[in-house]
Structure 1
């Protein structure tokens, strides 16, 4: 989570809190250290965000402070509810948590649309405690154009070690695919996430060539995977 996103989440937590929230509780919710919370609070106060309180007591947001409302019509709100609910099908735990946070923010300023229901059945959840590779790591690799070291087992049960330049994550109803330039094969390949044994982000960027590779992949797969709005 970037610092700007974390500070936005910090404001949202304080907005919803009925009483002062301790730094250690904020740190636990945002998965950072208390020192980071202290720095973020100081930064918010420097930007004249009305955060009150102090270390050892807790922090709260002065009443009356709010963010600009989201301006969506009824069908746009319903589309958001359905779209967010369908993230349950991706098996991407981090995206599901993010969708829940977005849903709460929308409900803060708009009427609920809980009568729109989406069946959650889809790709298996990426639970790292059960040995699954986190889709959040894969998304980070694509977003930051970082090379990835992947241990993979194909459909025939053959294991291989791959060095990839990840380009896109493709969510199907029952599985998720990582599209990448595979250095072993010297070409574009697609890897099912449930067959990944491990994935390690490497300190090696391919940002200079990422856009060109992604464009070539899109041209190659334009009739299969590439969504055009």
Structure 2
């Protein structure tokens, strides 16, 4: 079971308000006691109002819980754009609530880390740092849809890229591109883009430059044995 699914299952168990022993939670989710302790810490840090401690048990003391939702990438983008705006408002209470809600989203997002480099950090990124990239998402999505090239300023470099796919890694967004400047694929962090504009020129799939080619190369790299 994915950790995101297990966390959701734990919330569903705890939402009845009763005290649940860690051993019972471990048996219900088929994991170790140590894993349950870590999960409880994660849920508590994400804003779930959990009361209890090791050796006694856990329960949710008060919360509005929602049934499991299936969100598209665009819906996740809309959520984070809205949270970014509210998180930087002058209303202290609303700002804190936006940050807490963002943390809850991070806690239950899928944890497939097979593609993103470990240095990305996922949800550990400060809210303000990740929010800097949200402003670029509508433009990138439009360019992917209309197949327009982008000029981006990244690490003081001016690059011309073909945007191919947006990916989400727990508050952090990346974009798969074919870079016409370096003549190779890249997976760039959206929050590191300093400037960006859509170019009038369009692009079409060409051999070696498409998203299919990128995925094929990535699959081949994963299947290859590590060099000794």
**Shorter-chain TM-score above 0.5:** no
TM-score band by shorter chain is 0.3 to 0.5
What TM-score, normalized by structure 2, do the two folds share? Answer: 0.42
